[in-house]
Chain A
Amino acid sequence: MTARLRVDWPSCKARGLCHELLPEIVDLDEWGYPVVGGEVTPDLLADARAAVRMCPRLALRLERPPPL
């Protein structure tokens, strides 16, 4: 099952740690803010959880799609 990584934009201050932890789906824009490029597939889940935990601004959340 895939999940979605969402950014709380008012909290994010572009330190870019998420990109280092999850380069597979997080890019940085020209100002250093994350560009989330895809779903969190099961193989990325552990790294995504780490990014959520370690974001210095607690600006990341992992959202599961609602059960059908």
Chain B
Amino acid sequence: MTAPPVRASDRPRVLEGPALLSGLADGPGLVAHRRRYGDLPRVALDDLLAALDRLHVRGRGGAAFPFATKLRTAAEGRRRPTVVVNLSEGEPASAKDTALALARPHLVLDGAVAVARALGAREVHLVLPCERPRAVAAVEAALAERHDRLRTVLHTADARFVAGQARAVLELMAGRANLPVTAWTPEAVAGHRGRPTLLSNAETWAQVGRLVLVGEQRYAALGTVEEPGTTLLTISGTTPRVHEVPYGTPWREVLPEEWAGRPVLLGGFHGTWVPWEDLAARTVSVAAMRAAGTPLGAGVVVCPDEPPPAYTARVVDYLAAQSARRCGPCLNGLPALAAAVHGVADGSGDAERRAAELAGLVSGRGACAHPDGTARLVRSLLALRAEVAS
């Protein structure tokens, strides 16, 4: 199995932050958590939906989907909904959900419990990353401290890039192989056992948890008018660093000095290459970065020592090996794409054209978005080269 260029870590350096990651010195325990935030209030679904709408709270797994829309869909179903906390963090370069598991597990759990109660859900499922044992232990320890009168069910996701994908998680929960399958309906309509299923990653739940605990005003005291609140970033490295920054923070303040002038891979292995100058001129913003064609994704930034083509080739080798080998275009196309990117790195004649052709061919043709994410990465490499050449 091809190793990832960055290994999944369960020992990130978690930096003190303004909201989720404030007061780290108090530790992750429930007593300190309750001393800081008080008891978890009961919230009415309508009030919560209204607050989530006003604050534009979005999912933090990468797709940035409005959380209120998903919650509303799950609430509108005829059957009792199920809540799922996805801590599997399949992207090896990311460590933010792991950081929350280690440092702020009760914020994550409070978010899930508050929403489960508002929805009338009886079960909260937690999906843990098998390759990050410290995160697993931290969540288990946090659960042992609580008495929420909800059934909690633990699942352990495989160490595979696509294992955390929503449908792969539902398959795992159903006792089948932890691999993506075709989604004919959104899981918020029909997910686990056909029930409306509200599945979000740990950071999303922690943000919702903090909103319920501190209220709308304090939540909106940070960030911008369009994008209130904060977001977590992982600065990849031998020891990844997890930062919490208010939306609107200039990237220049976040990027390590020694990265200056070098291309940065933003959004992890399904992300995009950005010249340092371009990124440094922007702010941390879902909307602005999406408009610039460099989505924030799950907030991972990588700045490898290797030149981008050689590094991308290694990433695509890894991503090709991570294909669940079930969908033909992914199974055949990603290895071919990897070969083409090696060609680009080696400077062979036709490789760029072939890479662009394959990126187009694999996109949209799989049970999950793995081919699309891989294609996005490769296209951004080609764009970066064109920019450097011009």
* Contact indicator B184/A9 (Cβ below 8 Å): no
Task: Check if B361 sits within 8 Å of A10, measured CB to CB.
Answer: no
Distance between A12 CB and nearest chain B CB, rounded to angstroms = 6
Q: Which residues from A are CB-within-8-Å of B361?
A: 29, 35
Stretch at the interface among B120-128, B277-285, B325-333: B325-333
Place the interface of chain B in its size category.
Answer: 10 to 19
What chain A residues lie within 8 Å of B330 (beta carbons)? 9
- Which partner residue on chain B sits nearest A29 by CB separation? B361
| Interface contact B329-A10, CB-CB below 8 Å | no
- Among B340-372, those with CB < 8 Å from A are 361, 365-367
The 7 closest A-B pairs by CB, nearest first: A9-B327, A10-B326, A33-B328, A31-B332, A8-B182, A9-B367, A9-B366
State how many angstroms separate the Cβ of B339 from the closest Cβ of chain A. 13
Q: How far is the CA of A11 from the CA of B333 in the complex (A)?
A: 17
A contact residues around B143 at 8 Å (CB): none
Closest-CB distance, B320 to chain A (whole angstroms) = 14
Say yes or no: is A61 at the interface (Cβ < 8 Å to chain B): yes
B181 interface residue per 8 A CB criterion: yes
Contact with B along A22-44 (1 / 0, CB 8 A): 00000001111101000000000
Q: Do B184 and A61 touch across chains, with their CB atoms under 8 A apart?
A: yes
A residues 1-18 touching B (CB-CB < 8 Å)? 6-14
Q: Tell me the complex Cα distance, A11–B367, Å.
A: 10
Query: What string of 1s and 0s marks CB contacts (under 8 Å) between B156-183 and chain A?
Result: 0000000000000000000000010110
Q: Which residues of A contact B (CB under 8 A)?
A: 6-14, 29-33, 35, 61
B365 nearest CB neighbor, chain A only: A9
Residues from chain B with Cβ under 8 Å of A30 in the complex? 332
Of A6, A10, A29, A35, the most chain B CB neighbours within 10 A belong to: A10
Cβ-defined contact, B328 with A8, below 8 A: no
A9 CA to B182 CA in the complex, in Å? 7
A34 to chain B, nearest CB (A): 9
Cross-chain contact A10 with B181 (CB below 8 angstroms): yes
Question: Which residues of chain B come closer than 8 Å to A12, judged between CB atoms?
Answer: 327-328
Given A8-B367, A10-B326, A31-B332, 7 more A-B residue pairs with CB atoms under 8 Å apart are: A9-B328, A9-B365, A10-B367, A29-B329, A30-B332, A31-B328, A35-B361
- Which residues of B have CB within 8 Å of A7? 365
In the complex formed, the residue of B with least CB distance to A11 is B182
Max chain B CB contacts within 10 Å: which of A6, A9, A14, A29?
A9
Q: List 25 A-B contacts (CB under 8 A).
A: A6-B182, A7-B365, A8-B182, A8-B367, A9-B182, A9-B326, A9-B327, A9-B329, A9-B366, A10-B179, A10-B324, A10-B367, A11-B182, A12-B327, A13-B328, A14-B328, A29-B329, A29-B333, A30-B332, A31-B328, A31-B332, A31-B333, A32-B328, A33-B328, A33-B329
Q: List the B residue with the shortest CB-CB distance to A10.
A: B326
- Most A-side CB within 10 Å, residue of B184, B328, B330, B333: B328
Q: How far is the CA of A11 from the CA of B179 in the complex (A)?
A: 13
Name the CB-closest residue of B to A63. Answer: B184
B354 to chain A, nearest CB (A): 11
- B238 CB to closest chain A CB (Å) equals 37
Chain A residues near B327: list those with CB within 8 A.
Answer: 9-10, 12
Q: Closest residue to A9 on the B side, CB-wise?
A: B327
In angstroms, how far is the closest chain A Cβ from the Cβ of B237? 36
Q: Which residues of B contact A14 (CB under 8 A)?
A: 328
